[in-house]
Structure formats: structure tokens, C-alpha cells
Amino acid sequence: MKAIAYQKFGNTDVLQTVEEPKPVIRAHEVLIKVKAVSINPMDWKIRKGEMKLMSGSTFPRHTGVDFAGVIEDAGPSVTNFKKGDEVFGVVKNNMKDGALAEYVAVPATHVWKKPAALTFAQAASVPIVGAAAVTALEKMGNINTNSQILVNGASGGFGMFLLQLLKQKGASVTAVASPAAVNFAKKWGADAVIDYTKENVLAQQKTYDIVIDLSGRMGYANAKQIMKPKSLFLNPTPQPIEIPTSLFKNLFTGKKHTVILSQPTSKNMVLLLNAISNGLQIEVNKVFPFAQSVEAYRYAESGGIIGKVVVEIN
């Protein structure tokens, strides 16, 4: 089968199409004929060697974490899936494995039935950013219509899910986005949108109960300027040193700095599928064929993407 792999850390030019044996499944695993893989910033952060502490440095490496496809085969211990089922899911080890291939083998616990209303491209867009948005929502605790929430970097995959989940909770949300994304942020549920090319969110007078930075550019030190005395900063892109230091610093201040880690569990997928059946929309910005996987990454990495970029495989 064909797969995308790389032999050293680097830019998109290290990505190669390789021939590999079809994966062999174990008793508790399913073999999936991959139809679509969505691109996440973590794919290129790992490929560029920015996450070596967690990913390790062995090669070859594969890429692409979340996917959708059709069950080709199921191991003898698998009772809930059969050949022909349409599913979406995540690879077993998102720091090491890759779904960008004609076939992928994963434990049956890592896939879920694809709703008929979703395309393969939309379903492949759900697990990582959807689960991260659910985790963010959990960390926010008891929010209500009086909670003032700022979502900085609101128009990528993560923001798309988070804005709509917050809307379904009735929260009061200000989004920060590029001019092209303002209408999407409003459609997804933002009550107010700040165009970051016209206004510096840090220079405004308003303060928030919760600030979440999806751009990776704001940082807790800056965010404090627009946080209320007892408020929360949610950080899905922590520097390794920030993980222990945030815990320590939180002991001495009313403001809290909390790290988010996406957990694509069955519980979170059920919650997301519920939100989707209640109207949550998944915007696929652009679909590339498998032969143009490198172009897909170049496009996604260039920024300005509203929603998700997906690679489809025939």
C-alpha cells in the first residue's frame, strides 16, 4: 500500500510517498480502508521536531492523526464492528503512528461509527480538535450567560468546534479572528468578533472570566492584562516548561493558567456526535487528493485557513 512517511525532521519537502506492506491486525484491532485524513498543526509540529520530548526521534515516521474510512477487516475479539462499516477515528499513538496511508490498523476502541449525515472529510475533521474543544469546555467549569469568554484564534478547526459548543451552552463569547473569518466566527456563535488586523485585543478595556488562546501567540503573561482577578487562561499550546510552572504559580494567584490536552475518548465522541446532531457544523476548507498530500500540508501550514484541510484517498 501507499503511505506518506519521512526519514528526518523538517519542512514539507521531507514528506515522501512510500510502498509498505498492508498492516496486519491483532485480535482487538480493525483494519480500515482510509478515505479521508484531516490535517492538524500537531502533524507539522511533530515533523519539524518541535515535540521531540514527546514524539521521540526515531525514523521512519508517519503522519496524520485523525481519519475516516471503511472497515476492511476486524480481529476475532472485535464485536462492535464488521467489514463495510463506515467509521472515523484516531491512530493508536498520535506521536508515532500516521493515518495518511491507504490502510490503517487501530484498536477497535479508537474508532466510532460515522454518522450518515457527515462526509468522510467532515468525519475525519472531528476527533482531535473536537475532543480538544470538549476538554476546554470541561476546564471552563460552570459557565453561564454572564461568563465573559475570549477565544483568540477562533477560526481554525479547534475554534470552529469550541465556538459552536459554547453557543450550545449559551455562553457570551468574544472571538478574535482575521477579516476573512469574521462572518464564520459569528455564524459559529460568537457574540462579538475582534478583527486582529484592526484592533489589538490586549489594548482594549474589557476584561474576561476565561481567555483561551488558540493562536499560540498570546501567552499567559500577555493574557493577564485582559483577565479578571479570579479568571482562567486555557492554553492548548504550552511550552514544556509551562506545564509544571503553571501548577506552581497557580498556588499564589487568583488567576489560573491551565493546560489543555485533547482526549479523543468514546465519552467525548458521544458528546460531539450529539452536538453535531443538534446542529454543530463542520467546515471543510479544502480537500486535496492523496497524490497532493505535500501540497495539502503546504497549504495548511501557510495559515489563513477557516475550518479544516483534508486529504482524500480513493
- Residue 210 is a binding residue for ligand NAP (CB under 6 A): no
Least Cβ distance, residue 83 to ligand NAP (angstroms):
32
Residue 262 cell numbers, joined = 485533547
Least Cβ distance, residue 179 to ligand NAP (angstroms):
9
Least Cβ distance, residue 20 to ligand NAP (angstroms):
27
Interaction with ligand NAP in 5-44: which residues (CB under 6 A)? 40-42
Tell me how far apart the alpha carbons of residues 211 and 234 are, in angstroms, rounded to a whole number.
6
Which region, judged by CB under 6 A, interacts with ligand NAP, from 103-111, 151-159, 183-191, 277-285? Answer: 151-159
Q: For the range 43-50, what are the long-range contacts, defined as Cβ-Cβ under 8 Å and sequence gap of 24 or more?
A: 43/297, 44/12, 44/297, 44/300, 44/301, 46/95, 47/6, 47/9, 47/10, 47/14, 47/15, 48/9, 48/10, 48/11, 49/9, 49/10
Residue 306 cell numbers, joined = 477557516
- Residue 280 is a binding residue for ligand NAP (CB under 6 A): no
Tell me how far apart the alpha carbons of residues 253 and 230 are, in angstroms, rounded to a whole number.
8
Least Cβ distance, residue 109 to ligand NAP (angstroms):
19
Tell me how far apart the alpha carbons of residues 189 and 173 are, in angstroms, rounded to a whole number.
8
Pick from 260, 280, 284, 310 the residue near ligand NAP by CB under 6 A. Answer: 260
Which region, judged by CB under 6 A, interacts with ligand NAP, from 10-18, 60-68, 125-133, 242-250? Answer: 125-133
- Interface contacts to ligand NAP, rule CB under 6 A: 40-42, 128-129, 132, 152-153, 155-159, 176, 178, 181, 196, 214-217, 236-237, 260-262, 303-305
